[in-house]
Structure 1
Amino acid sequence: MVSPWRLRPRCSGGAGVIQTASGLRLLRPPGPANRYRNAQIDDFGQWPGNPRALQPPFTLRLRARTSHPADRLVGTAGFGLWSYPWAWPLRMPQAVWFFFGAPPHDMPLAIGIPGHGWKAAVVDTGRPAARKWIPLAPVIVPLLNIPPLYRRIWPCIQRDVGVAEAVISQDIAQWHEYEIRWGLHESELLVDGITVLRAPSPRGPLSIVIWIDNQYAIVRPTGQLGWGVRACNEAQWIEVALISPFQFPTP
Structure 2
Amino acid sequence: MSNLPGGLRSLPIGGGTVVIDGSIRLALPAMPRGYADAQLDDTAGISRSEFLHRAGFHFGVRARASHPAPVGTLGFGLWNDPFGFSLGLGGFARKLPATPQAIWFFYGSPPNDMGFGKPAVTGGWKAATLRSPRLPSLFVAAGGMLTLMLRPLRKVQAALIRTATGRLEAEEARLPFRLDEWHAYALDWTVQGATFQVDGEVVLRTSVVPDGPLGFVTWIDNQFAVVSPVEGLRFGVLPVPEPQYLELQDLTIEDTPAPRSSSLRDSVGGRGTGRS
Of 219, 234, 246, which aligns to 1:211? 219
* Matches of 1:38 and 1:120, distance apart in 2: 21
Measure the CA separation in 2 of the matches of 1:193 and 1:38: 30
Contact kept, 8 Å, 1:94 with 1:126, in 2: the verdict is no
User: Residue 108 of structure 2 is aligned with which of 91, 101, 106?
Assistant: 101
- Give 1:161 deviation, angstroms: 1.4
Secondary structure, counterpart of 1:163 in structure 2: strand
Q: Does 1:81 align with 2:92?
A: no
1:203 Cα offset (Å): 1.1
Please state how far the C-alpha of 1:184 moved relative to its aligned partner: 1.6
Matched residues, number: 225
Residue 145 (structure 1) shift: 6.9
The aligned residue for residue 150 of structure 1 is none
Structure 1 distance, partners of 2:238, 2:98, is 28
Identify the residue that residue 11 of structure 1 maps to in structure 2.
12
Q: Following superposition of structure 1 onto structure 2, how do residues 37-56 of structure 1 map, counting pairs within 5 Å? A: 37-45=36-44, 46-50=46-50, 52-56=51-55
Report the counterpart of residue 256 of structure 2 in structure 1: none
Shift of 1:143: 9.5
Counterpart amino acid of residue 57 in structure 2: F
Moved over 6 A (4+): 143-146
Measured after TM superposition, the shift of residue 114 of structure 1 is 3.6
Structure 2 alignment gaps of length 5 or more: 85-94, 254-270
Q: What is the distance in 1 between the residues matched to 2:228 and 2:77?
A: 23
Counterparts of 1:49 and 1:82 in 2: how far apart (Å)?
13
Cα distance 1:145–1:9, how it changes in 2: closer, same or farther (>3 A)? closer
Pick from 198, 203, 208: which aligns with 1:196? 203
1:103 Cα deviation after fit: 0.3
Question: 1:29 aligned to 2:29?
Answer: yes
State the match for 1:230 in structure 2: 238
- Read off the aligned partner of 2:213 and give its amino acid letter: P
Looking at structure 1, the residues matched to 224 and 16 of structure 2 have their Cα atoms a distance apart, in angstroms, of 17
CA contact 1:6–1:247 (8 Å) conserved in 2? no
Q: Percent identity?
A: 36
Give CA-to-partner distance per residue, 1:28-56, whole Å, 9 cap, x none. 111012x1100001101322443x52111
Structure of higher RCO (CA pairs closer than 8 Å, 6+ residues apart): 1
Cα distance, 1:112 vs structure 2: 3.3
Matched, 1:166 2:176: no
**CA-to-aligned-CA distance 1:64-111 (integer Å, 9 cap, x gap):** 1000112xx100000000000122425310000000000011123223
- Pairing 1:111–2:118 present: yes
Matched residues in 1 for 2:98 and 2:134: separation? Answer: 11
Q: Secondary structure at the match of 2:6?
A: coil
What is the CA-CA distance between 1:177 and the residue it aligns to?
A: 0.7
Whole-Å Cα distance in 1 between the matches of residues 213 and 158 of structure 2? 35
Contact 1:108 1:221 in 2 (8 A): no
**CA distance in structure 1 between the partners assigned to 2:21 and 2:133 by the alignment:** 38
Q: Residue by residue, what CA displacement relative to the aligned partner does 1:108-136 show, whole Å, maximum 9, x if unpaired?
A: 322333411000010011358xx9xx8xx
Distance 1:175 1:204, change over 3 A: same
Alignment-derived partner of residue 264 in structure 2: none
Which 5+ residue runs of structure 1 have no aligned equivalent?
147-152
Is residue 2:66 matched to residue 1:59? no
The one-letter code of the counterpart of 1:196 is V
TM-fit CA distance, 1:214 = 0.4
Query: Equivalent residue of 2:203, what SS?
Result: strand
2:187 match: secondary structure:
strand
Normalised by the size of structure 2, how large is the TM-score? 0.73
Q: In the TM superposition, what is the alpha-carbon distance from 1:198 to its structure 2 partner?
A: 1.6
Distance verdict in 2 for CA 1:196–1:127, change over 3 Å: farther
**TM-score normalised by length of structure 1:** 0.80
Distance 1:206 1:223 in 2: 29
